Structure 1
Amino acid sequence: MTEPLLEQGYDVLRYNSRGVGKSHGWASLTGAQEVEDLKDLILWARSNSPDLSKLVIVGYSHGSLIASMHPVLPDLDTSHILLSYPLGPRHWLTAFHTHRYTAALQGLIRDPKSNVLVIYGDGDNFTAVESYDAWAKGLKDLHAAEATAHGKLEVVEIAGASHFWREPPAVRRLLDVVRTWVH
């Protein structure tokens, strides 16, 4: 997933959320601490890269929930890629605080400076494609309904992709979508 960003000259900082892989700590039940961790990480990156002009926040699965909570920064070109947003199990992953994540994503879509790319597979293991399609339509309708100048929203469904992106043709399509989007 980082290939298209690296090809376009982006610096990539990749991390695991607390309690994942070799990261220390424990996952929170609501995702609130993970949201704060992401904010801290972005502050750290900005302080260590004073020439930073563009920021792409990429989140996969639970990480896309966390990424959606980070607003567009007023002084930095900020974009979001939400991959395999866990729509089906979202209420369990957020300890029934779904409304916070819904409101944050709607805020991103409404932000006139936003650039949001949502990607999901039609064979997701946790969310039926019909649910994704209805959700995507709602996002697009919200985006279109804004009377003021609004940012960009692109929603892409990839045929043959599961939640885990283990299918080589789907991965190639995913990389192509991101390559096109970062141009």
Structure 2
Amino acid sequence: MSTSSGSESCTVETSDGVKLRTRIFKPNELMDNLVIILVHPFALLGGCQALLRGIAVGLAERGYRAVTFDTRGAGRSTGRASLTGFSEIRDVIAVCKWVSENLSTDRILLVGSSAGAPISGSAVDQVEQVVGYVSLGYPFGWTASILFGRHHKNILQSPKPKLFVMGTRDGFTSVRQLENKLKSAAGRIETHLIEGAGHFQMEGPTYDAQMVDLIIGFIQSL
């Protein structure tokens, strides 16, 4: 078991000039060259990188480099958040590019939480270094699809390995809706259902350790 040696903050600039506040969580002892980039929930509902700190710290403690960042208009990043999450795809791509250049890796795992799942899912095939994708509570349901529906096909058609984690009481997506969506998906698909967990509950610190275990298990299977 390695211990985390802390984190450092930096700024990443996007192709359209937005400055993203980014934090890198580094382990004392590196287990793997792969870097995990975590994409936070919907900025317009208060989503920011701080919500993913627990998972990032947990990953660093297990020997993996983890990166969190505030998407445009969130936290201390510049720019304005978009309603549909399409501008934020650029943010994910910019951070991936920065990570591959500055942390000398050719292997990135993208992890998206809630609205961060469709946003990061749309970036998966746009970044060569991304080797897999984990969704924590992808909002596939009807109401959420009004905002994020145009993202679905980008991740469902990607040939890269995917893990979908969801609570069985997710208020945005039912288990049946998840299963129906994944029927048409390409590539290797895994699902993990957390019995009795609601959407926002799963975002809370109670589930951080479980999310870390699931993410690491998925990495080891790649």
- Higher relative contact order (Cα pairs below 8 Å, separated by 6+ residues): 1
Q: CA deviation at 1:138?
A: 2.7
- Please name the residue that 2:210 is paired with: 173
CA distance in 2 between partners of 1:120 and 1:161 (Å): 8
Q: CA deviation at 1:159?
A: 1.1
- Please name the residue that 2:183 is paired with: 141
Q: CA RMSD in A?
A: 2.5
- 1:36-76 Cα shifts (integer Å, max 9, x gaps): 11111211222213x30310111111111101101346753
CA distance in 1 between partners of 2:83 and 2:127 (Å): 30
Please point out which of 51, 65, 68 is paired with 1:11: 65
Q: 1:77 to 1:26 in 2, by over 3 A?
A: closer
Q: Which stretch shows the higher mean deviation, 153-162 or 7-16?
A: 7-16
- 1:137-183 Cα shifts (integer Å, max 9, x gaps): 2344324xx6xxxx321111101322122373x44433332232222
Structure 1: gaps of 5 or more residues: none
- Indicate yes or no: 2:194 matched with 1:158: yes
- Please name the residue that 1:91 is paired with: 145
Partner SS for 1:104: helix
Q: How many residue pairs are counted as aligned between the two chains?
A: 163
State the identity %: 25
Q: Which amino acid aligns with 1:55?
A: I
Q: 1:40 to 1:172 in 2, by over 3 A?
A: closer
Contact 2:111 2:133 in 1 (8 A): yes
CA distance in 2 between partners of 1:71 and 1:171 (Å): 23
Higher strand share: 2
Q: Which stretch shows the higher mean deviation, 37-46 or 68-77?
A: 68-77
How do 1:36-115 residues align onto structure 2 when only pairs under 5 Å count?
36-49=90-103, 51-72=104-125, 75-76=128-129, 78-88=131-141, 89-94=143-148, 98=149, 100-108=150-158, 111=159, 114-115=160-161
CA distance in 2 between partners of 1:36 and 1:43 (Å): 10
